[in-house]
Amino acid sequence: MRDLASVETQRTGAPLSGVIASEIDIAEGAEYAGATSTGSQPGGSPKRRKRTARKALMTVVLAIGLPIILLVVWWILSANSHSPYFPPLSKILDQFWKLWIIGPAKAQLVPSLSHLAIGYVGGSLIGIISGVLLWRLPAVRRATSPVVYFLYVLPAPALLPALIAIFGIGEMRQIALIAFGAIWPTLLNTLDGMRGVDQVKFDSAKAMRLSPVRTVWSVVLPGASPQIAAGLRAGLQVSIILMVISEMVASTGGIGYFILQSQANLALVAMWTGILMLAIIGTVLNYLFVGVEHRVLAWFYGSRALEGR
């Protein structure tokens, strides 16, 4: 039954949409950079280690260098801009400092980030737990498969009006939307990862007489964890996007609200600072995620690196 879970859920984190794809690319660079910092495998020859070190240095340089180059290009090209739509970067950075670092706009971070945290963590947990349950109950999995797929392909923002009707325009609606977006990639990847666990690993578990709960905890979840992580990362991208969207519709706070308000008030420099803030949050969260992932999945990256020996 390769129906529901096999939908574009590869370890490489198949992009769920074009928008997310670009953000995943950013994180991919970080992934390689991070891979070598945790990669303390014994047995690698000095020559090999040197080669991987040089490769790692290259990726770090690219990961840090490219954004800097882009910023410099932006700075130079926009320096003499008189267009109100594309203010000089120097002006944006100046405003950014005034608004987000010492100014009042940083208060907008609190609702945004707290909604994101609750929604993302909640949605991810629901995704993983339902993934485990569906894995254990193949009959339910078969029965729910069309619905799950339907919800997975449904663009989450389309649900906003419905969520407003259910939860009103309060925080619950925003959290629910973020959580909703995080559930599906996590669920599908969890399910697919669990189904990919080798039969011999289950035979071993039975031979050692592990209980069903211990088998899930010690064998199935760790075995599926690389793919669960891919799902969690995709879920994070979706959650950030949904956070912004939820703040742009019928909302009274948050970064998305700030951007929209600034634009409405023709405060275009301020609008750009909000966009910049979002880019920073997205990047930082991505790097954080990759850092944690490489710590938790050190065994996976370590064993994979040795495979190609």
Contacting residues toward other proteins, per CB under 8 A: 41-43, 198, 200-201, 203-204, 206-211, 214, 218-219, 222-223, 225, 299-300, 302-303, 306
Query: Who's near 85: CB < 8 A, 6+ residues apart?
Result: 268
Nearer to other proteins, 67 or 222 (CB): 222
Alpha-helix runs per DSSP H in the chain: 18-38, 46-78, 89-96, 109-136, 138-153, 160-167, 171-195, 199-207, 212-215, 221-248, 255-264, 268-296, 298-307
Shortest reach from residue 113's CB to other proteins, in Å: 31
Query: Residue 2, SS3?
Result: coil
Nearer to other proteins, 52 or 218 (CB): 218
Nearer to other proteins, 80 or 199 (CB): 199
Cα 142 from Cα 215, distance rounded (Å): 22
Cα 141 from Cα 143, distance rounded (Å): 5
Nearer to other proteins, 149 or 300 (CB): 300
The structure tokens listed for 49 are: 């280690």
Shortest reach from residue 42's CB to other proteins, in Å: 6
Nearer to other proteins, 122 or 302 (CB): 302
Place of tokens 């950030």: 240
In terms of phi and psi (left: phi > 0; alpha: psi -120 to 50; beta: otherwise), the region of 168 is left
Shortest reach from residue 200's CB to other proteins, in Å: 4
Nearer to other proteins, 83 or 199 (CB): 199
Shortest reach from residue 53's CB to other proteins, in Å: 19
Shortest reach from residue 223's CB to other proteins, in Å: 7
In terms of phi and psi (left: phi > 0; alpha: psi -120 to 50; beta: otherwise), the region of 245 is alpha
Shortest reach from residue 283's CB to other proteins, in Å: 29
